[in-house]
Homo-oligomer: A and B are copies of this chain.
């Protein structure tokens, strides 16, 4: 199991439609869809990052419902997916959790839909993941994408997913599924 890759979905700092840095609200389906996709590809952690205490509590309440509440018996597959979810208040907290659980240094990978000059390809990152002496944390942005400061902070920037033609507006849930398949899938 390639437990040296984890995902963080950031609700801050991200841009809104007017390129202002904001905190977005989480959506329920982002918990379930991304947890199931991450779990299918063998990831050990999926962090929902939000500085809002109320949002963290609400995420935790949903996870608990399916993890140990009524939903645990009703839908064990969902329980297993949600067992990898962690609600944290900052990217730093996610990194600390990973370092403590995996006992390995953590490399940060920023992602986005825009073209940038200093990106690595999916093929190259797939090779990098073979280094089992490191852990990798893939950052995804909500809203209109990760704030620039995260690209400056990242160790690696992943190339954007190109579709067919000029329209390129993948939902974050779909983009993540494609990323994990390119990085870990076999067919």
Contacts and interface: CB of A to CB of B under 8 A. Distances in A.
Interface of A: 1-2, 29, 32-33, 36-37, 39-42, 77-78, 80-81, 121-123, 159, 161-165, 167-171, 173-178, 181-182, 184-187
B2 A164 contact: yes
A1 B162 CA distance: 13
A171 B177 CA distance: 10
B1 A167 contact: no
A171 B122 contact: no
Contacts of A32: 171
A170 B40 contact: yes
A171 B39 contact: no
Given A177-B178, A181-B181, A182-B181, A39 B187 contact: no
Contacts of A37: 170-171, 174
B33 A123 contact: no
A121 B163 CA distance: 21
Contact of A42 (B33, B41, B122, B165): B165
A113 to B, nearest CB: 10
A130 to B, nearest CB: 14
